[in-house]
């Protein structure tokens, strides 16, 4: 397995949970679909093309990141119903000052070289959520061998499946600042594949993911990969 990392920052970011409507809560980190769209923008593919490319080339992603808080924005909008315009509001949640490191991995080194070139010279603007949530790249690593390891301790990342059944907290309370926000793991059932019909798309497959905030220790180890100095559970 080969992989490289992209380190970056976004002043604001929002990853809407698909089922949310008038209150659009954000996920703590970008899901697989957002990471796929980000890759597609870098190499000049539409979202449909990027999804197909990821599946055909068996591209895997990993993400580690944290933010400095959340804000909620009130939006007013007009919706059309039975030939009349109705005013309504929705609340959208945003992450503030999101710092993330994204891992992109594949068994085909030539494919990764093409993707890495795209991040060096993006074809389209890179965003994390809305078109205003610009993603600033700070560092692009070189392609390296991704070393597989069995890991039990994770923090500020995303794991495949529901990992909340058998874990324990790994927070060192004695050395943790009083201002530190303890974040319990959260499990979400998220889309990973779509059926496309022109501009319309429908979810064809979903999968559970566990979003880890504060450090946890799993009772059973998971396969993860070390890319440079970080450990990623690949999605």
Provide the CATH number for the domain around residue 209.
3.30.70.2660
Range of the domain at 199: 2-232
SS3 content of the chain, % helix, strand, coil (to 5): 15, 50, 30
Report the 10 Å Cβ neighbour count for 171.
14
Q: Please tell me the total count of domains within the chain.
A: 1
User: Are 4 and 133 contacting, i.e. CB atoms less than 8 angstroms apart?
Assistant: no
The label of the residue with tokens 């050395």 reads: 175
What does the pLDDT read at residue 23? 82
pTM for the full predicted model: 0.91
Q: What is the mean pLDDT of each run of 10 residues along the chain (235 residues)?
A: 96 87 88 96 95 95 94 80 74 94 96 97 93 94 94 95 90 84 92 88 92 94 93 95
């Amino acid at each position: 397995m080969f992989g490289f990392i992209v380190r970056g920052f976004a002043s604001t970011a929002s990853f809407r949970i698909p089922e949310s409507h008038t209150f659009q809560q954000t996920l703590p980190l970008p899901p697989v679909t957002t990471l796929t769209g980000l890759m597609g923008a870098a190499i000049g593919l539409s979202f449909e093309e990027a999804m197909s490319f990821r599946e055909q080339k068996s591209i895997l992603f990993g993400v580690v990141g944290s933010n400095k808080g959340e804000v909620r924005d009130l939006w007013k909008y007009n919706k059309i119903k039975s030939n009349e315009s109705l005013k309504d509001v929705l609340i959208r949640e945003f992450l503030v000052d999101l710092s993330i490191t994204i891992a992109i991995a594949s068994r085909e080194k030539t494919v990764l070289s093409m993707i890495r070139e795209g991040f060096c010279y993006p074809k389209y603007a890179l965003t994390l959520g809305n078109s205003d949530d610009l993603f600033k790249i700070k560092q692009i690593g070189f392609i390296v061998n991704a070393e597989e390891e069995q890991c039990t301790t994770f923090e500020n990342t995303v794991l495949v499946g529901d990992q909340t059944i058998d874990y324990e907290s790994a927070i060192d309370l004695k050395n943790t600042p009083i201002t530190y926000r303890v974040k319990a793991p959260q499990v979400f059932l998220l889309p990973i594949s779509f059926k496309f019909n022109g501009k319309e798309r429908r979810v064809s497959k979903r999968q559970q993911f566990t979003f880890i905030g504060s450090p946890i220790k799993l009772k059973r180890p998971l396969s993860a990969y070390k890319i440079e100095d970080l450990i990623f559970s690949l999605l």
